[in-house]
Structure 1
Amino acid sequence: MKKIGFLSFGHWSPDAGSQTRSARDVLLQSIDLAVAAEALGADGAYFRVHHFARQLASPFPLLAAVAARTSRIEIGTGVIDMRYENPFYMVEDAGAADLISGGRLQLGISRGSPEQVIEGWRHFGYAPAPGESASDMGRRHGERFVALLDGRGFAEPNPQPMFANPPGLLRLEPHSDTLRDRIWWGSASDATAIWAAQKGLNLQTSTLKADESGEPLAIQQARQIRKFREAWAAAGHARTPRVSVSRSIFPILTDLDRAYFGRDRGGDHIGVIDDMRAVFGRTYAAEPDRLIEQLRGDAAIAEADTLLLTIPNQLGVAYNAHVLEAVLTHVAPALGWR
């Protein structure tokens, strides 16, 4: 059994054909799609975070709104760029959203992805410490955020407070007791996957990865996941970790599906992202029988317990709900995912 959800990058534009022509459109449609996905039996509604772009950026208002409109589906991110984040304020926002959801938050965080502007985190008031890279800063913010989620008191209380304090040092509020175990690290390399395991974080791996061997994406990711699990076991963590992979999967059932995704897109391809040679995964698009056979050969999906379907959010709620239903109905059962 696999958990299956969607991952939306939350694009909007006024271009012809776009169903999300404004930020308001994409926010409201994101909520509506999460509601529709829950009704279809999907397991997760995840959202990407990009700053200085016509995409979703501040996740917690959206996550809280989705939480208030749903009752079962997991609600998450993939991923929050920790170079931009104040870990203390983020703990408060995350705690509030998780309590509204009843403990359904699944937060993917990472050191970040390529940016729209030069060193955008500086505009948010952050800078690497001497001798530290921006990636190091992102990991440092991430570690601090996770440590604060433990809920241990650290702040000296005012002897003359406005309101009575509990005894001892104070922690940030509101606090969610279990959120610490539902934090994921978005990893593009084997080394950061091992680091995430050592820190006790779940693993998110995307539709691209650092090309570390020249092999297809699925083979490299499957090895990355196995190394993550080996490092987790070696670290001696008590709980079982979770691992997600993201894929673009489109069953061709209608003429509209064929018009959008009917062209053969071939296999993986190689590119450069953030000065890193990367392997980018293929788009899976075919009639269900052929699609099922193609997906049987994806070793990384086989290794993961959670599959996030990247969606073309600008095509609107109805079409994306159709894609989710097609995967859940025509593909997932044949592969033993449901």
Structure 2
Amino acid sequence: MKKIGFLSFGHWSDSPHSQTRTAADTLLQSIELAVAAEEVGADGAYFRVHHFASQLGSPFPLLAAAGARTSRIELGTGVIDMRYENPLYMAEDAGAADLISGGRLQLGVSRGSPEQVIDGYRYFGYEPQGDPDGANLAREHTRRFLEVIEGTGFANPNPRPMFPNPPGLLRIEPHSPGLSDRIWWGAGSRATAEWTAQQGMNLMSSTLLTEDTGVPFHQLQAEQIQRFRDAWKAAGHSREPRVSVSRSIFPIVSDQDRAYFGSARGGQDQVGYIDGGVARFGKTYAGEPEQLIKELADDEAIAAADTLLLTIPNQLGVDYNAHLLETVVQQLAPELGWR
């Protein structure tokens, strides 16, 4: 059994070809797509987080609203840039959204991807010293966030409070039990995956890796996953971890599919540069279902993961993306043994 969800970048643009012209369009359609995904049998609705961009930037109101409209699917992020986050305020927001959803949040966090502005986290009030890209800042914010969502008291109570306090030190409220087991780190390399395991977080791996050894992307990613699992075992954690990978998969079953994605057939990995270093980008899978079944069966990283996130073209609207999800979940997944 493999969980299948969607990952939306949450774009909007004032273009005649876009179904999401405004931020309101994107937010409201994201909620509707989560509902539709649940109806067609998908398992998760995940959203990218980007600041200073015409994309989703503040995830918790969206996650809470989607949680109130759905009953089964997981709701997550891929990923929250922890350089921008106040860990304690984030813990309050995350606890509230998780309780609204009934404990279905799966929060992907990380250092984030290249920004729209230079050192955008500095505008949010964070001025790290000797940390040129904010990587240490992101890890420190994550460490503190993981501490406080455990639910242990740490704050000294006021001896004359407005309302009676429970005995002992006070914790962040609202507290949502179990949320700490549902935090994922977006790892872009094999070494970062090992660090993720040591911290006790689940592994979220995207459609690119910030390194290249010359092997196909899916094999490099499969190695990353194996290193994560080995490091997890060595760390002696008591629970089983989860691993997700993202893929662009577009089954062609209609003329509309062919018009949108027919030219993407036969795609290959690409090697390029991101943040000044070499990166390998995974290919797009597009084609008739029979062809995709054969190609996807050979993807070693998908086979190694328990969760598959389908990157979707959210500007094509709710109905079209629900159609894509339904085709993957109900036609491809059973043939591939994912259902």
Q: Please say whether Structure 1 and Structure 2 have the same fold, judged by a TM-score greater than 0.5.
A: yes
Range with greater deviation from structure 2 (87-96 or 204-213) = 204-213
Match of 1:18 in 2: 18
CA deviation after TM superposition for structure 1 residue 276, in Å:
2.0
> Does structure 1 retain, via aligned residues, the 8 Å contact 2:206–2:246?
yes
- Residues 130-156 of structure 1: CA deviation (Å, up to 9, x unaligned): 467511111111111111111111111
Distance 2:20 2:168 in 1: 50
Query: Do structure 1's residue 4 and structure 2's residue 10 form an aligned pair?
Result: no
Aligned residue type for 1:82: M
Match of 2:221 in 1: 221
**1:155-234 matched pairs, under 5 angstroms:** 155-234=155-234
Q: What is the Cα-based RMSD across aligned positions, in Å?
A: 0.9
Aligned residue type for 2:256: L
Q: Which runs of 5+ in 2 are unaligned?
A: none
**1:234-273 matched pairs, under 5 angstroms:** 234-263=234-263, 264-273=265-274
Distance 1:290 1:131 in 2: 47
Distance 1:301 1:75 in 2: 20
Match of 2:28 in 1: 28
CA deviation after TM superposition for structure 1 residue 64, in Å:
0.2
The secondary structure found in structure 1 opposite 2:143 is helix
Return the TM-score normalized by structure 1: 0.99
The secondary structure found in structure 1 opposite 2:221 is helix
Match of 1:78 in 2: 78
Match of 2:303 in 1: 302
Range with greater deviation from structure 2 (266-275 or 41-50) = 266-275
Q: 1:225 to 1:123 in 2, by over 3 A?
A: same
The secondary structure found in structure 2 opposite 1:107 is strand
The secondary structure found in structure 1 opposite 2:77 is strand
The secondary structure found in structure 1 opposite 2:64 is helix
Distance 2:39 2:123 in 1: 40
> Does structure 2 retain, via aligned residues, the 8 Å contact 1:129–1:137?
no
Match of 2:293 in 1: 292
Distance 1:49 1:257 in 2: 27
Distance 2:128 2:242 in 1: 30
CA deviation after TM superposition for structure 1 residue 275, in Å:
1.2
Distance 1:300 1:192 in 2: 17
> Does structure 1 retain, via aligned residues, the 8 Å contact 2:79–2:112?
yes
Q: 1:54 to 1:153 in 2, by over 3 A?
A: same
Distance 1:277 1:140 in 2: 26
Large movers: runs of 4+ above 3 Å: 129-133
- Residues 49-80 of structure 1: CA deviation (Å, up to 9, x unaligned): 00000000000000000000000010000000
How many aligned residue pairs are there?
A: 338
The secondary structure found in structure 2 opposite 1:227 is helix
The secondary structure found in structure 1 opposite 2:171 is coil
- Percent identity between the two aligned chains: 69
